[in-house]
């Protein structure tokens, strides 16, 4: 693995080696992009790159990835600490830190004060209004929403959120990036929750209310949607996969922004988050999960 001593030009920088950041970094390298993974320091980013490399090693061991391809994708990925120098010689930077307005705005403001003007800045937020983030960060007219779905390799769509003051040229750049990643870009209006989060959250919260009132079990409620409507996973399993803590933050934010009862989080969701039963990563949510991410 490269250790950050030499900085090659990068097609895409990803700030935040969390679930989204790692999933995107892996896929972008597999799509042929040169990727720079940025953490709070070099060690943080290096751990993220090592996690991706372990995924590639497992795929090679199972015969899904050739040794030559593994070496090629590994060479496209490098770890770096978050600093002004780490932003140089980069086409795109996607912010992928946790869904918190204050944290995102502070990081984006730092990027705005450090980076060269040619850099296209994207935020991976799934629900926070991009125009508000841009105003807080001093990036009016320069910030786009690029909401990817996890796991990135399997989800062929990106929700592109373009505030009204963004130039068309920057929008076309983002569309070009989406296409290089093999994603269909769907442009939506900038509003709290955009479109995808509002639809998925409303269904997930309603399923939680039905479970809370004893209408049916979690397994049966999900089966109604998978078997009855052809959804690949049910709303409660999807909530576990997304993370119940993230679902709660988004629901609280949307309810505060809109006042709509459909976005009010049910007590069941609050109780599970308070107990640490936040879904797949915690091993327990509405379902139980093993260490490999499979339902028990």
For the cut 80, the answer to whether the pLDDT of residue 5 exceeds it is no
pLDDT tens digit sequence for 60-70: 999 999 999 99
CATH of the domain at 180: 3.40.50.720
- Same-domain check for residues 66 and 129: yes
pLDDT of residue 6: 43
| Secondary structure (DSSP) of 168-187 | HHHHHHHHHHHHHTT-EEEE
pLDDT tens digit sequence for 103-143: 999 999 999 998 777 899 999 999 899 999 999 999 999 99
For the cut 60, the answer to whether the pLDDT of residue 98 exceeds it is yes
pLDDT tens digit sequence for 151-171: 899 899 999 999 999 999 999
Could you list the residue range(s) of the whole structural domain that residue 152 is in? 10-188
- Same-domain check for residues 211 and 235: yes
Judging by DSSP bridges, how do beta strands 120-123 and 143-148 pair with one another? Answer: parallel
For the cut 50, the answer to whether the pLDDT of residue 97 exceeds it is yes
**Residue 130 domain-assigned (yes or no):** yes
For the cut 80, the answer to whether the pLDDT of residue 9 exceeds it is no
pLDDT tens digit sequence for 206-243: 999 999 999 999 999 999 999 999 999 999 999 999 89
Judging by DSSP bridges, how do beta strands 157-161 and 184-188 pair with one another? Answer: parallel
- Same-domain check for residues 110 and 51: yes
- Burial label for 253, CB within 10 Å (0-12, 13-18, 19+), is buried
- Same-domain check for residues 33 and 163: yes
Q: Which of 136, 159, 188 is the last residue of a domain?
A: 188
**Residue 174 domain-assigned (yes or no):** yes
Q: Rounded to an integer, what distance in angstroms lies between the CA atom of residue 118 and that of residue 207?
A: 45
- Same-domain check for residues 238 and 261: yes
Residue 188 host element (H or E):
strand 184-188
Q: Where are the beta strands (DSSP E) in 99-142?
A: 120-123
Q: Rounded to an integer, what distance in angstroms lies between the CA atom of residue 138 and that of residue 143?
A: 10
- Same-domain check for residues 130 and 219: no
**Residue 19 domain-assigned (yes or no):** yes
Residue burial 193-218, b: 16+ Cβ < 10 Å; e: rest? bbebbbebbbbbbebbbbbeeeeeeb
Average predicted confidence (pLDDT) for the chain: 93
- Same-domain check for residues 212 and 170: no
**Residue 294 domain-assigned (yes or no):** no
Tell how many helices (H) and how many strands (E) occur in the chain. 11, 8
CATH of the domain at 236: 1.10.1040.10
Peptide bond connecting 72 to the previous residue in cis, omega within 30 degrees of 0: no
- Same-domain check for residues 28 and 85: yes
- Same-domain check for residues 34 and 164: yes
Q: Do 159 and 145 touch, CB atoms closer than 8 A?
A: yes
Q: Rounded to an integer, what distance in angstroms lies between the CA atom of residue 228 and that of residue 15?
A: 39
Which residues 6+ apart lie within 8 Å of 219 measured at CB?
none
Judging by DSSP bridges, how do beta strands 143-148 and 157-161 pair with one another? Answer: antiparallel
**Residue 263 domain-assigned (yes or no):** yes
Which residues 6+ apart lie within 8 Å of 52 measured at CB?
22, 25, 26, 29, 37, 77
**Residue 4 domain-assigned (yes or no):** no
In the chain, the number of structural domains is: 2
pLDDT of residue 31: 97
Q: Rounded to an integer, what distance in angstroms lies between the CA atom of residue 210 and that of residue 190?
A: 30
- Same-domain check for residues 68 and 207: no
């Amino acid at each position: 693995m490269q250790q950050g001593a030499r900085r090659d030009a990068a097609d895409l920088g990803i700030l935040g080696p969390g679930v989204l950041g790692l999933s995107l970094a892996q896929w972008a390298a597999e799509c042929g992009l040169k990727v720079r993974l940025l953490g709070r320091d070099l060690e943080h980013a290096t751990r993220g790159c090592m996690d991706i490399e372990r995924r590639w090693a497992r795929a090679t061991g199972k015969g899904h990835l050739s040794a030559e391809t593994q070496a090629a994708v590994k060479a496209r990925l490098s770890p770096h600490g978050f600093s002004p120098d780490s932003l140089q010689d980069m086409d795109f930077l996607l912010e992928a830190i946790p869904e918190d307005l204050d944290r995102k705005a502070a990081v984006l403001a730092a990027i705005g004060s450090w980076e060269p003007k040619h850099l296209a800045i994207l935020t991976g937020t799934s629900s926070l209004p991009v125009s508000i983030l841009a105003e807080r960060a001093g990036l009016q007219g320069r910030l786009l929403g690029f909401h990817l779905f996890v796991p990135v390799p399997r989800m062929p769509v990106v929700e592109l959120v373009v505030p009204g003051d963004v130039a068309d040229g920057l929008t076309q750049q983002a569309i070009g990036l989406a296409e290089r990643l093999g994603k269909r870009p769907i442009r939506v209006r900038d509003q709290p929750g955009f479109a995808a989060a509002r639809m998925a959250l409303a269904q997930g919260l309603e399923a939680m209310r039905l479970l809370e009132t004893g209408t049916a079990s979690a397994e049966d409620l999900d089966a109604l949607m998978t078997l009855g409507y052809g959804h690949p996973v049910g709303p409660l399993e999807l909530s576990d996969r997304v993370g119940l803590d993230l679902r709660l933050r988004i629901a609280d934010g949307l309810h505060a922004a809109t006042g709509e009862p459909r976005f009010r989080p049910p007590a069941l969701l609050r109780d599970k988050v308070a107990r640490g039963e936040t879904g797949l990563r915690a091993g327990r949510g509405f379902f139980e999960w093993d260490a490999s991410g499979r339902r028990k």
